[in-house]
Structure 1
Amino acid sequence: MAAAEHAIPVTDDERPMERPSLPPNQGLEAVKDIVFGSTAGMAGKLIEYPFDTVKVRLQSQPADLPLRYTGPIDCFRQSFQTDGVRGLYRGISAPMTGAAVETSCLFFSYRIAQDLLRASIYADTEQLPFPALVLCGAASGSVTSLALTPIELIKCKMQVPMESAGLKAPGPLVLITSVFRQDGLLGFWRGQLGTLIRETGGSAAWFGGYEGVSSLFRKNSHQSSTESLPVYQQMIAGATAGISYNFLFYPADTIKSRLQTEDLSRLPVNSERQTFWSVGKALWKQQGIKGMYRGCGITCARSAPSSAFIFSVYEGLRHYFG
């Protein structure tokens, strides 16, 4: 009699459990995220950088009244009269690097988070539900904040104008050396809590805003989730994402900028350094909610076209080379 006839049947409980697995070609997808995300991020940074310079200068004004700048237009005017267009783009090398790192890291970790959810919780779902996408956005932001804080630290220090006339503004290498001498390696992560709050919540709003508006467009036109939207719809969704990202968690960014641009030479000897919470309390006491949102209008104004451009460039590259 054949051996198969004497085989002991295997029950479902005795079969080895299948482990969830990520999709293949993760290496190639990671390269695409890095290249496409970096390209889109740097392109968006060229558009928004002068507005970002004005935002940082408004945020980092000393608490003493009267303020140096009365508003965004006055800040633009004074900055242009002092240094011209070059002054508005001062320190762009660090944020260009930061934009490449930030955007590529955001898209890469956002996709990885989605793949992990599909491999575990949503194994039978092609399109993740909206709350899951928001969670993936938050996860990508928290990861990205670790890479972004040192770059933003140097960027903010370069964007703030020198108080003493006639002094040559230090370059990025000088500032990097100065930070390391004063605070060591961990000094580059000064303001990390502010970046973490902003990036975690902001990225949830960024990807959530984009996915939410894109979903509405697809529902109205009866498109599937795998079809590409027209460019103008991608840009509208991207603009919505940019405004959502900046407005909701702007106070955390304001506190971070003030913390990172603190003039250490003015601190009394052996005095304690300010913390994220102490800066926040002082700013709230001195200027209230208006101080927390100083520069928010111009930030949202520049983030709309910048995010629209970032998403449309990334989606375009994904479509043609994906």
Structure 2
Amino acid sequence: MKAAIIGITGYTGVELMRLIEQHPYLEIGTLHRSGKKASYLTEEFPHFLPLNAKIQAFDAKNIMAQNDLVFFATPSGVSKDLVKPFVDNGFPVIDLSGDLRLKNGESYRKWYKKEPANPDILMQANYSLPEFQTNKSMLIANPGCYATATNLLLAPLVKAQIIRTDSIIVDAKSGLSGAGKGLSQSSHFVNVYNNMSMYKVNQHQHIPEIIQFLQQFDNQLQSIQFTTSLIPVSRGIFVSAYVKLKQNVDLSHIKTAYENCYADKYFVRINHHQKLPDLHQVIGSNFCDIGYIYNECTGILTLVAVIDNLIKGASGQAIQNFNLWAGLDETCGLKQMPNFI
């Protein structure tokens, strides 16, 4: 099958290109940027030689004529205005941005500070965290990086009803690529190198996405304490969560809850031996590694999940969603082991 990438010049677009080149049943059809300027891929990314494909201006009609599906790897606020012709023609779309993740348009307006997509578009969009959904929709909303790690970490425990959901605390940290290519004071080298800083405390746009997902298992869950920090690494998401167990719950219940959800899920690896994962275990791969430790003195369960924000948190997960949509094994083209060094 041939795929178009819209937003090829961003980090997720580049990673998507790399992964598609390694996929046995998927190939690049056309490459596009959301604007009107055309160029060649290797002018901006010489590491792709000899794949010197042309980056074309956006043209929905031509994209549909030359491809079998389209990936939107655009910043939030772009795909919602470009996706309509594809939806109207029943053309398969996988959107990596945040534009179609939230079912409530007012929630999108509040958290993203932008106008939401048309309600008809939102109704047709299907959010797909592939460990929990096998999605055959023609309009798939790919989860965000923080939301992916946090929901994979918490969902089994919320689903099993073994933790209190009125006092969940999440401390999430991201590498710099999670902020995208846009220039800002906070992403300036001298502000990031040898430094660590919090940003968007209680205001990150992935908060409603996390709550929306977890509410399918507990509709009483209304809020979480969620803080985000920028750390001086290129890529990676490190999520720490702190939860209280319900009465008569012990570590055996935690182990069972994770096994019930992930026993047959290749990309989620659980360490049940009180050993917590680190970023090197997953960078360069589509894996999510999870560990947990219980403090008997405080009654607090510490949980940790790590992912590569550009792969499992974005482009790799988009390929995983494609695989399931196309009836392929979910691991197809995604079995790369972590880089570690």
TM over 0.5: no
Counting helix residues as a fraction of each chain, which structure ranks higher?
A: 1
Bigger radius of gyration, 1 or 2? 1
